[in-house]
Structure formats: structure tokens, C-alpha cells
């Protein structure tokens, strides 16, 4: 990130997210950009992020695709994407931001559906005065420590999640109610994403959802056109890449992802991305990883 910027609040919990009910909070804050500020390309972790433009204008990119944003716009970033913010030099932006995930299967599944159905940068720009106000209230609450603060923070983060989902459901007529299989698949995606560091086998989904593995796998493929194994594998290695870019050692990442050895992890990582874990921080590697299909 460029040094020419001013944080009005920056609560950073990436390594150890704070839990508020069903919401895991990774980051919340407010930033005022100067004319020459650039939030350089960086990879998101396993969370959604809201960027609410409170003044000015500029561009926000997701996986290299940029969308113009202005005052009152809300940009939604998805898990594991690359992310960049470039303010307009004549009217630099001031923005609030929030990074979070949701453990509740139903709500988390709705968020996964948004990411699946609205992939382009321009499609995920919203305007919602209630959502913007709720995030502003959350930032104010995290700036202080008042009575029943935890309870109020939990309520605000839950409200933000609901308003985000409602914002997409109401924005145009293209949004429709998913059928039972689609809802089920989005819940599976959310379960995998929120348990990626603890899951040792996809057969754990059988206990979580009460279905035989063959049925789960068949429904997933029928809805997404991809195999359940490919989704799980992609999430594991995207998580690995994110952890490595947060300066964790290769051995630490291998252990966190339940590999039997650093060698087996490094071999699998290189087979997936085409470069080794130690090479993962180079600009070319990050670009290649961004383009790697699920």
C-alpha cells in the first residue's frame, strides 16, 4: 500500500478473527486517500469485504477488472480475489471497509450465491443507504468501548450481512429464488470455505448435511458444472496461497492444511499452480494464480 493515506480507524484481525455471533470479523476501518494514494494489488483472504465510498471517486479492481466508484457506492469483494483501489487524483476517495465471513449455513450460502452469480466488477457495485449507515454505526461502535458493546457489535454485523443480501435480491429482476438444490450447493460451498482449515475429507459433509456422499457430489456437479473435489481442491490451495502471502512459513501452511509433510504439500501446490510455495510471492506467480481455474 502507498504510504500517502490516513487511517481514521483500522482494526485488523486477519490472523485471529473476532467472533460476533455467526459473523467472523477480519477487518473494519475508515481510510482517507490523498491524491497520489494507491492501495496496491493484494490478495483477499477467505472473507467478503465491503468498501463503502463516503466521498470522492475512483476505481476498484477485482482480479484485474476495474469498476468506477463514487460517493455512496458500495463495492463487494469476494474471497481469494486480488483487490486494488485507485482514487481519482482530483477527487480522492474516503471510504469505510469491512471484511467478514459467516458461519451460518443458510446466510453464508446466500453470500456464496452472490459471488457465484455476480462475478464481474461492475455488477457488484451497490447503493444502499441503510447498509452504508449500518457500517458507519459499526465503525463508530468499534471506535469506543461502551456498555453492551459486544452485543451491539453483533447486532450491527448481523444487520450488515442481511442488508447486503437484500441489496442484491432487490437490485434487479434477474435475481430469483434459488431452487432446493441450488440452496444446498451454496450451503456446501459456505461449509467448505468456513471449515477449510479443519476438514480432512469431503466425507465430513455427510455428517454435516445428513446425506450420502454420492448424492452430495451429484447435486453439486449438476448445479455448478464442476466436481465437488475440484472446488475443495481449489479452496485449499487458494487458502494456502493467501496464508503464504501473509508471511507464514511453508511448513506452517502445510501443517494448517493437514498435509503429512512439507514435501507432499509443496509437490501438490506446484502441481496445482505451476510454481512452488517459495515462489508464490512474486508478481508473476500472483498473476498466474489469479487466472488458475477452479
Question: pLDDT tens digits for 191-209?
Answer: 998 888 888 899 999 999 9
Q: Is the pLDDT of residue 287 over 90?
A: no
pLDDT for the residue numbered 282: 57
CA of 106: how far to CAs of 41, 153, 169, 182, 291, in Å? 32, 21, 15, 12, 29
- Exposure of 134 in the CB half-sphere (CA atoms within 13 A): 21
pLDDT for the residue numbered 248: 85
Q: Is the pLDDT of residue 273 over 60?
A: yes
Bin 135: left if φ > 0, else alpha if -120 < ψ < 50, else beta.
alpha
Give the model's confidence band at 128: pLDDT under 50 very low, under 70 low, under 90 confident, else very high: very high
CA of 226: how far to CAs of 23, 209, 267, 293, in Å? 28, 20, 24, 11
- Torsion 69-75-77-78 (CA) sign: negative
Bridge-based pairing of strands 82-87 and 65-70 is unpaired
Stretch 263-272: mean pLDDT: 92
Of 211, 214, 159, residue with least CA distance to 180: 211
Of 213, 222, 212, residue with least CA distance to 180: 222
Stretch 19-45: mean pLDDT: 87
pLDDT for the residue numbered 175: 53
Query: Can you read off the three cell numbers belonging to residue 73?
Result: 457506492
Distance CA 180, CA 177 (A): 9
Q: Is the pLDDT of residue 172 over 70?
A: no
Distance CA 195, CA 190 (A): 8
Of 77, 131, 132, 98, residue with least CA distance to 17: 98
Neighbours of 17 (CB within 10 A): 18
pLDDT for the residue numbered 43: 82
Of 176, 119, 125, residue with least CA distance to 294: 119
Stretch 84-112: mean pLDDT: 92
pLDDT for the residue numbered 2: 44
Decide which of 68 and 38 is more confident.
68
pLDDT for the residue numbered 165: 93
Decide which of 74 and 4 is more confident.
74
Distance CA 227, CA 224 (A): 8
pLDDT for the residue numbered 53: 96
pLDDT for the residue numbered 281: 62
Question: What is the helix (H) or strand (E) element at residue 105, kind and residue range?
Answer: helix 105-117
pLDDT for the residue numbered 158: 97
Q: What is the mean pLDDT of the chain?
A: 87
Stretch 139-151: mean pLDDT: 89
Give the model's confidence band at 35: pLDDT under 50 very low, under 70 low, under 90 confident, else very high: confident
Q: Is the pLDDT of residue 184 over 60?
A: yes
DSSP state of 123: G
Query: Can you read off the three cell numbers belonging to residue 14?
Result: 486477519
pLDDT for the residue numbered 6: 59
Which percentage of the chain shows pLDDT scores above 90?
58
Distance CA 96, CA 99 (A): 11
Amino acid at each position: 500500500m502507498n504510504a500517502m493515506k490516513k487511517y481514521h480507524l483500522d482494526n485488523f484481525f486477519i490472523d485471529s478473527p473476532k467472533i460476533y455471533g455467526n459473523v467472523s470479523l477480519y477487518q473494519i476501518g475508515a481510510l482517507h486517500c490523498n491524491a497520489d494514494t494507491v492501495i496496491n494489488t493484494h490478495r483477499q483472504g477467505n472473507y467478503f469485504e465491503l468498501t463503502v465510498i463516503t466521498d470522492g471517486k475512483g476505481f476498484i479492481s477485482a482480479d484485474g477488472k476495474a469498476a468506477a466508484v463514487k460517493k455512496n457506492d458500495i463495492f463487494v469483494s469476494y474471497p481469494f480475489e486480488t483487490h486494488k483501489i485507485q482514487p481519482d487524483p482530483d477527487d480522492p476517495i474516503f471510504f469505510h471497509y469491512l471484511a467478514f465471513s459467516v458461519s451460518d449455513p443458510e446466510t453464508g450460502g446466500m453470500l456464496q450465491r452472490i459471488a457465484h452469480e455476480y462475478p464481474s466488477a461492475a455488477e457488484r457495485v451497490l447503493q444502499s443507504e441503510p447498509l452504508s449507515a449500518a457500517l458507519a454505526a459499526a465503525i463508530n461502535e468499534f471506535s469506543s468501548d461502551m456498555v453492551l458493546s459486544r452485543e451491539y457489535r453483533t447486532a450491527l454485523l448481523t444487520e450488515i450481512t442481511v442488508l447486503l443480501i437484500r441489496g442484491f435480491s432487490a437490485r434487479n429482476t434477474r435475481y430469483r429464488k434459488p431452487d432446493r438444490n441450488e440452496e444446498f450447493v451454496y450451503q456446501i460451498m459456505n461449509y467448505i470455505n468456513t471449515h477449510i482449515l479443519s476438514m480432512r475429507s469431503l466425507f465430513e459433509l455427510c455428517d454435516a448435511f445428513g446425506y450420502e456422499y454420492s448424492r452430495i457430489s451429484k447435486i453439486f456437479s449438476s448445479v455448478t458444472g464442476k466436481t465437488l473435489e475440484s472446488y475443495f481442491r481449489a479452496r485449499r490451495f487458494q487458502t494456502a496461497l493467501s496464508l503464504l502471502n501473509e508471511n507464514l512459513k511453508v511448513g506452517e501452511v502445510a501443517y494448517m492444511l493437514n498435509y503429512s509433510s512439507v514435501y507432499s504439500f509443496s509437490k501438490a501446490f506446484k502441481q496445482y499452480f505451476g510454481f512452488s510455495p517459495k515462489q508464490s510471492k512474486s508478481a508473476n506467480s500472483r498473476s498466474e494464480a489469479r487466472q488458475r481455474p477452479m
